[in-house]
Amino acid sequence: MPVTLVKEKYPSKVGEVVLGATAAEGGTRTSVIRVGGDGTLPFLQFEGSVENRPIIAMEVTDIVPPWNDTIKEQFGDVLGNPVAMAKKCVEEFGADAIYLKLIGADPEGENRSPEQCAQVVKDVLAAVGVPLIVVGCEDPEKDNEVMAAVAEAAAGENLLIGLAEQDNYKSITAAAMVHKHNVIARSPLDINICKQLNILINEMGLPLNKIVIDPMIGGLGFGIEYAYSIMERARLGALAGDKMLSMPMICTVGYEANRAKEANVGAGEFPGWGELQDRGILWEAVTAAALLQVGASILLMRNPASVRLVQRNIADMMEQNA
């Protein structure tokens, strides 16, 4: 008896979002990146189209980041120099995009002005040709000012900017609409708030294909399974025709994975866990690999050694299996 391959038929697909703009499109990027667009579960090319491979955007900070030494060592003297750091991520580590985190804006820290922040964005835009993802310092009031300045300074570059949240989405959405950028919609591990936020942003007039979902993942061992099931549910919703959940998903892998003790303490303290060097790399890589299986389109990563592993994982998963 012959075996028939079971193929699911989905009535809809994930929306496609374009990041960046070339000179012809009013920007200065050397190429654009498309994410999303898939008509099937992740990597199941035998039953639907996998339009775009997931991408890795590497984390770059405007001031020296508070990361652990095993990661910092890999960057050497470029830390605190966002231009050199971004160049290294693209040229040496092969990042698809740059995830610029303006932590220097934090009122509790360096409290840099919106103009200073916008200048950093312009400098990084001048230094690399890949698309940029830009977020503030996670102080809601300050971020509203910072991101408005950034959006204006980078008009035409089609950035992906964040963060829009349920109780604070209007000003960043307005900035994105006026200056034609994309927005990250963040919800706290809650599919209902996720959907509602997309509706609210869309009601302001920002098209659905300018929104990316940030489900606020948990790292490996710290709630990743909640994120995993929510992302799976969103993906199934998108494939079933739920337009308000059909956006590509972005995951803050580097931040969440590297908050874990397992990614930070050495074998001296926890001999049973083995060497920190390997463990730290794998903690971030495994977090990323798991989320790729439920439809992550954009991975925001930090550790260059983890990035290398996940790049290989993506290449393997993208091999034709139809």
By 3-state DSSP, what share of the chain in percent is helix, strand and coil, each rounded to 5? Answer: 45, 15, 40
Binding-site member from 23, 126, 178, 199 for other proteins (CB under 8 A): 199
How far is the first Cα of the chain from the last one, in angstroms, to the nearest whole number?
21
The correct pick among 142, 195, 210, 302 for binding other proteins (CB under 8 A) is 195
Task: State the nearest-atom distance from the C-beta of 17 to other proteins, in Å.
Answer: 20
Locate all alpha helices (DSSP H) within 38-100, ordered by sequence: 69-75, 82-91
Closer Cβ to other proteins, 233 or 308, answer by number: 233
Sign of torsion, CA 180 182 50 320? positive
- Measuring CA to CA, which residue among 155, 98, 152, 162 is closest to residue 130? 98
* Cβ count within 10 A of residue 177: 17
Q: Least distance from C-beta 91 to other proteins, angstroms?
A: 42
Nearer to other proteins, 122 or 233 (CB): 233
Cα 133 to chain centroid distance, Å, stands at 8
Interface with other proteins (CB under 8 A), residue from 2, 192, 316, 319: 192
Can residue 295 be called a binding residue for other proteins (CB under 8 A)? no
Cα 221 from Cα 261, distance rounded (Å): 10
The smaller minimum CB distance to other proteins, of residues 31 and 192, is found at 192
Q: At a CB cut-off of 8 Å and minimum separation 6, what does 277 contact? A: 70
Is residue 280 close enough to count as binding other proteins by CB under 8 A? no
| Beta carbon of residue 192, minimum distance to other proteins (angstroms, whole number) | 5
Whether the CB-CB separation of 286 and 265 falls below 8 Å is answered with no
- Please list the residues that pair with 18 across neighbouring strands: 34
Instruction: Give the CA radius of gyration of the chain.
Output: 19
Q: How far is the CB of 86 from other proteins (least distance, A)?
A: 37
CB of 230 to other proteins, least distance (A): 10
Q: How far is the CB of 58 from other proteins (least distance, A)?
A: 32
- Both tokens of residue 309? 């592993």
Q: Which 31-50 positions form the footprint of other proteins (CB under 8 A)? A: none
Q: Where are the beta strands (DSSP E) in 119-234?
A: 132-135, 160-164, 182-186, 211-214
**Using rule CB under 8 A, residue 196 touches other proteins:** yes
Window 220-239: contact mask with other proteins (x via CB under 8 A): -------------x---x--
Taking a C-beta distance cutoff of 8 angstroms, is the pair 212, 298 a contact?
Answer: yes
- Contacts with other proteins: how many residues (CB under 8 A)? 12
Instruction: Give me the least distance between CB of 40 and other proteins, in Å please.
Output: 18
Q: How far is the CB of 190 from other proteins (least distance, A)?
A: 10
- Contacts with other proteins, 240-279, as mask; x by CB under 8 A: --xxxx----------------------------------
Which tokens go with 72?
């910092």
User: By the criterion CB under 8 A, which residues form the site for other proteins?
Assistant: 191-192, 195-196, 199-200, 233, 237, 242-245
